[in-house]
């Protein structure tokens, strides 16, 4: 039993990091209907911006903030100069997917050409070990979970109780109607990209602190897991993405404990498939497949 | 709009030409005549997650080509290294191999075929009658029948037994094994485990890790509970760094026994970054092919490598990399075999590779290309003993090496710490 409790604890750390990535991914998709597969390319860029400052002496926690800002800017620029022009030209969903894959490859290989093929590590003190019964965490892991929790709470408050949040929800539901009601959907879309990129950047640094080392291509390893968590919860639903991240994060660690470590990915994706069989749009579903792109 | 007939006909012919040339597969290159440039392809990944493999092999090819050309080349031909991105998995590597063969008329040999695509591409090069020297350790090649496949380093199965023997030699009785679930790492896992049991050691934990996960905390916790005295491990840099970082984070780092992968610069960088270079130096013992750095052949390699900075960035990082050393010897062996065969044609010199490497009475031992060329020009027979040591190919074109223990110094060099004797290795099998 202790083994399972430990695994759940470990899974919470993974889930916290995954939640940041999945929520950022699904939030942007929910508002814009653009499947941004270049998401982890932005994650890697933001992480390397943060790394450069960290290696110059900046404290890691300021680097997390820097990465968020870098991710936000990169995301916004990606939309303004790549996705938006294609949408204006009438590019349909499948075409946009191809565009985003192309962008991902450009970002990945471009970054590798700049930073090389080596591995890098953030400099920070991982702190001591904290034990609560069978639960074991390092100080950094506790801070990571705390940051993720704060981010999710702020997002909840923003989406639920602010005019901007209401505007984002309205745009996500029906961009044309939202525009007709006087909502400046273009501004809402830009803010969605900024928010998505911020969460992506923050999540990226926390992820690479967790893995302890990373290269130009490490971020891309997590794209599928991020998408899986988002889809599991219901693509476009931020709360669903959090639940999806919890399920994926905890299930992988428990699978490693009870079955075998190599079953991690199998179990996570098996759960995804089973959920989608029962609820094809995810746990907290609202289908967006027929939506137009928000402009 | 109707397309004019002539334009349609031209387009049809053009498309047909493109289709035919694009489908041209495995057509053997022209036999290389004397003079001109002979190309040795470096067929490895130069992009993607394993993009370090290409530069690693280049660090073997370019020094060899430097020395070959400095000694006047082969039969009037100068040599060049031809980096060719295999892109990793077979779906990409196969068309890349076919394109290499069909588009490179002066292709005389290949250094390449990593563990992720060797079974797919070796048959292609074999069919094209182009020798391919690979450092893959996969056991499928232990019983290789492809005439044009050559392997200078011991297979993974032998590596695994050697790692078990090392644990015994270091006096460890409680052993854990932690291997990545990729084909390269899994090559030595079974024999490592079998060797541990055969030697009467206690296998306290056996873990197969999914690669590049964000966390291995559960696995690490399970390992700590098993209380090992040593961990025998092979996994990629990312996986190993994350795992060891979490082991350190939970306060229980354990001595490691690793394989030649741990001598690759990327592995050292990643793991040092996660647990510290001093800690790595203190804990890690690598079990590698016995290739002393004091030999004439090794010194020739390292000198040529350091002089090749224009083609090999930061060359000093590869001086201890066994795979680079093996690739260097591969190119030298190819060139010497060509001299012996009096031909640079791959289909001709392939049959002379064992002639220049096997130990026979009356064969003069040489350690460099220049030495070998000189003696061959005098009509003598040679045995090339390279930077990896003697190269004795068996009937499956595998060369088995002796094994050594090496420890990592925080100064960045590996230091011999002992040998695995043939008897110790046999006891583990």
Q: What is the mean predicted confidence (pLDDT) over A169-174?
A: 86
Q: Backbone dihedral region of B314: left (phi > 0), alpha (psi from -120 to 50 degrees) or beta?
A: left
Using the beta-carbon criterion (under 8 Å), do B270 and A119 form an inter-chain contact?
A: yes
- Examine residue A24 and state whether it is found in any structural domain, yes or no: yes
Pick the residue with more confidence: A230 or A126? A230
Q: How far apart are CA B166 and CA B285, in angstroms?
A: 9
Place B319 in a pLDDT band, splitting at 50, 70 and 90: very high
Band of residue B268 on the pLDDT scale cut at 50, 70, 90? very high
H-state helical runs in B342-414? 346-349, 369-377
Q: Do B214 and A211 touch (CB under 8 A)?
A: yes
What integer pLDDT is reported at residue B32 of this predicted model? Answer: 46
Q: What is the mean pLDDT of residues B207-222?
A: 91
Residue B34 has pLDDT above 70, yes or no: no
Cα of first residue to Cα of last residue in chain A, in angstroms, is 51
Query: What percentage of chain B reaches a pLDDT higher than 90?
Result: 80
pLDDT band at B5 (very low <50, low <70, confident <90, very high): low
Residue A223 has pLDDT above 80, yes or no: yes
Q: What is the pLDDT of residue B194?
A: 97
Residue span of the structural domain in which A77 resides: 2-278
- Taking contacts as CB-CB distances below 8 angstroms, the residues of chain A near B51 are 112, 117, 217
- Residue B412 per-residue DSSP state: S
Token output for A290: 């027929």
Q: Span B254-283, mean pLDDT?
A: 93
Whether A238 is covered by a domain: the verdict is yes
Cβ within 8 Å, pair B238-A256: no
The answer to whether residue A7 neighbours chain B at the CB level (below 8 Å) is yes
Contact flag A119-B241 (C-beta cutoff 8 Å): yes
Mutate to test the interface with B, among A6, A8, A15, A117 (most CBs of B within 10 A): A117
pLDDT band at A266 (very low <50, low <70, confident <90, very high): confident
Chain A CA closest to residue B251: A129
CA-based Rg of chain A, rounded to a whole angstrom?
19
Residue A154, classified by CB atoms within 10 Å of its CB into exposed (0-12), middle (13-18) or buried (19+), is exposed
Give the span between the Cα atoms of B186 and A224, in whole angstroms: 24
Inform me whether the pLDDT recorded for A294 exceeds 80: no
Tell me the nearest-neighbour CA distance from B337 into chain A, angstroms. Answer: 34
The string of DSSP codes covering A222-244 is: GHHHHHHHHHHH-TT-HHHHHHH
Residue A37's pLDDT band (boundaries 50, 70, 90)?
Answer: very high
Average pLDDT over residues A68-82: 97
- Beta-carbon contacts below 8 Å between A and B: 116
Closest-CA distance, B244 to chain A, in angstroms, reads 9
Contact B294, B265 (CB under 8 A): no
User: Any idea which of A39-43, A134-138, B50-54 has the lowest mean pLDDT?
Assistant: A134-138
The residue to which tokens 């995301």 are assigned: A75
Question: CA A15, A18, A21 angle in degrees (round to 5)?
Answer: 155
Q: What is the pLDDT of residue A97?
A: 94
At B326, phi and psi to the nearest 5? -65, -40
A75 domain residue, yes or no = yes
Position A283 in a domain: no
Q: How far is CA A204 from CA A141, A209, B204, B226, in A?
A: 14, 9, 35, 33
CATH number for the domain that contains residue A246: 1.10.3470
In whole angstroms, give the CA distance from residue B137 to residue B74: 30
3-state secondary structure (DSSP) of residue A75: helix
Q: What angle do CA B183, B118, B392 make, to 5 degrees?
A: 100
The overall pTM is greater than 0.80: yes
How would residue A282 be classed by pLDDT, with cut points 50, 70 and 90?
confident
Q: How confident is the model at residue B83 (pLDDT cuts 50, 70, 90)?
A: very high
**CA–CA gap between residue B29 and residue B85 (Å, rounded):** 19
User: Using alpha carbons only, what angle is made at residue B231 by residues B226 and B236, rounded to the nearest 5 degrees?
Assistant: 120
Least confident of A286-295, B49-58, B270-279: A286-295
The residue with greater pLDDT, A285 or A193, is: A193
pLDDT band for A170, please (50, 70, 90 cuts).
confident
Q: Is residue A284 part of a domain?
A: no
Q: Is the pLDDT of residue B421 over 90?
A: no
Chain B interface residues (partner A, CB cutoff 8 A): 47-49, 51-52, 55, 181, 207-210, 212-219, 221-222, 237-238, 241-242, 245-246, 249-251, 265-266, 269-271, 273-274
**Whole-number average pLDDT of chain B:** 91
Mean pLDDT computed over B397-423: 87
| Residue B9: predicted pLDDT | 56
pLDDT at A290 over 70: no
Q: Which residue has tokens 């991020």?
A: A226
Q: Could you give the percent of chain B with pLDDT greater than 70? A: 92
CA atoms within 13 Å, Cβ hemisphere of A215: 26
Bridge partners for B419 per DSSP: B404
Q: Count of domains in chain A?
A: 1
Q: Band of the pLDDT at B25, cuts 50, 70, 90?
A: very low
Question: At B26, is the pLDDT very low, low, confident or very high (cuts 50, 70, 90)?
Answer: very low
Give the residue-averaged pLDDT of B35-59.
94
Residue of A nearest to B275 (CA): A212
Domains of chain B listed by start with CATH number: 156-290+402-428 (3.40.50.2300)
Per-residue pLDDT averaged across B151-175, rounded?
95
pLDDT attached to residue A281:
81
In chain B, what residues touch A252 (CB-CB under 8 Å)?
Answer: 213
Strand partners, B257: B232, B285
Is A171 among the domain residues?
yes
Measure in Å the smallest separation between the Cα of B243 and chain A Cα atoms: 8
Give the model's confidence band at B170: pLDDT under 50 very low, under 70 low, under 90 confident, else very high. Answer: very high
Phi (first) and psi of residue A192, to 5 degrees: -60, -45
Residue bearing the bigger pLDDT, B2 or B124: B124
- B425 touches B293 (CB < 8 A): no
């Amino acid at each position: 039993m202790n083994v399972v409790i430990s695994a759940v604890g470990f899974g919470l750390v993974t889930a916290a990091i995954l939640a940041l990535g999945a929520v950022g991914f699904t939030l942007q998709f929910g508002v814009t209907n653009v499947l941004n597969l270049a998401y982890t390319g932005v994650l890697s860029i933001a992480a390397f911006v943060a790394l450069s400052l960290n290696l110059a002496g900046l404290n890691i926690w300021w680097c997390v903030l820097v990465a968020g800002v870098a991710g936000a800017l990169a995301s916004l620029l990606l939309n303004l100069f790549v996705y938006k022009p294609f949408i204006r030209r009438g590019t349909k969903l499948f075409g946009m997917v191809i565009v985003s894959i192309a962008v991902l490859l450009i970002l990945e290989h471009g970054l590798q050409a700049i930073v090389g093929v080596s591995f890098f590590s953030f400099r920070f003190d991982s702190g001591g070990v904290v034990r609560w019964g069978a639960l074991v965490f390092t100080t950094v892991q506790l801070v990571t979970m705390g940051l993720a929790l704060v981010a999710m709470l702020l997002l909840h408050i923003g989406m639920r109780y602010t005019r901007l949040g209401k505007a984002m929800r309205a745009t996500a539901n029906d961009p044309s109607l939202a525009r007709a009601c006087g909502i400046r959907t273009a501004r809402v879309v830009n803010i969605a990209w900024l928010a998505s990129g911020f969460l992506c950047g923050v999540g990226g640094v926390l992820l690479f602190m967790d893995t302890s080392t990373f290269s130009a291509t490490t971020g891309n390893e997590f794209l599928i897991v991020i998408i899986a968590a988002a889809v599991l919860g219901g693509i476009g639903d931020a709360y669903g993405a959090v639940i999806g991240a919890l399920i994926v994060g905890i299930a992988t660690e428990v699978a490693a404990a009870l079955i075998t470590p190599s079953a991690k990915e199998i179990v996570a994706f098996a759960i995804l498939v089973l959920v989608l069989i029962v609820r094809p749009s995810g746990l907290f579903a609202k289908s967006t497949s027929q939506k137009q792109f928000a402009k | 709009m109707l397309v004019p007939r002539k334009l349609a006909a031209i387009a049809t012919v053009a498309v047909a030409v493109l289709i035919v040339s694009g489908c041209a597969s495995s057509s053997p290159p022209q036999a290389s005549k004397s003079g001109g440039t002979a190309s040795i392809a470096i067929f490895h990944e130069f992009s993607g997650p394993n993009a370090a493999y290409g530069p690693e092999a280049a660090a073997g090819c370019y020094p060899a080509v430097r020395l070959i050309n400095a000694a006047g080349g082969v039969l009037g031909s100068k040599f060049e290294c031809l980096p060719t991105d295999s892109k990793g998995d077979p779906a990409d590597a196969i068309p890349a191999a076919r394109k290499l063969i069909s588009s490179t008329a002066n292709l005389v040999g290949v250094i390449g075929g990593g563990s992720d695509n060797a079974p797919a591409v070796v048959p292609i090069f074999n069919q094209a009658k182009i020798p391919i020297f690979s450092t893959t350790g996969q056991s499928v090649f232990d019983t290789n029948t492809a005439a044009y496949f050559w392997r200078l380093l011991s297979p993974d199965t032998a590596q695994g037994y050697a790692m078990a023997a090392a644990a015994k030699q270091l006096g460890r009785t409680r052993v854990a094994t932690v291997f990545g679930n990729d084909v390269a790492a899994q090559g030595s896992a079974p024999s490592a485990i079998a060797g541990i049991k055969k030697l009467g050691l206690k296998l306290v934990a056996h873990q197969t890790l999914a690669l590049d996960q964000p966390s291995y905390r559960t696995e690490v916790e399970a390992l700590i509970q098993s209380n090992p005295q040593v961990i025998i491990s092979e996994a990629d840099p990312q996986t190993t760094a994350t795992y060891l970082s979490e082991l350190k984070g939970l306060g229980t780092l354990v001595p490691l026994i690793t394989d030649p992968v741990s001598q690759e610069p990327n592995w050292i960088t990643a793991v040092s970054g996660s647990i510290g270079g001093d800690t790595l130096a203190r804990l890690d013992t690598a079990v590698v092919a016995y290739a002393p750095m004091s030999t004439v052949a090794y010194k020739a390699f390292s000198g040529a490598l350091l002089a090749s900075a224009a083609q090999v960035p930061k060359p000093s990082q590869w001086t201890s990399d066994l795979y680079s050393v093996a690739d260097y010897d591969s190119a030298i062996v190819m060139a010497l075999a060509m001299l012996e065969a009096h031909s640079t044609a791959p289909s001709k010199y392939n049959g002379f590779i064992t002639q220049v490497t096997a130990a026979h009475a009356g064969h003069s031992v040489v350690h460099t290309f220049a030495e070998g060329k000189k003696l061959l020009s005098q009509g003598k027979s040679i045995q090339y003993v390279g930077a990896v040591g003697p190269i004795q190919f068996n009937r499956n074109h595998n060369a088995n090496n002796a094994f050594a223990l090496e420890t990592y110094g925080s100064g960045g060099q590996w230091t011999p710490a002992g040998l695995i004797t043939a008897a110790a290795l046999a006891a583990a099998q």
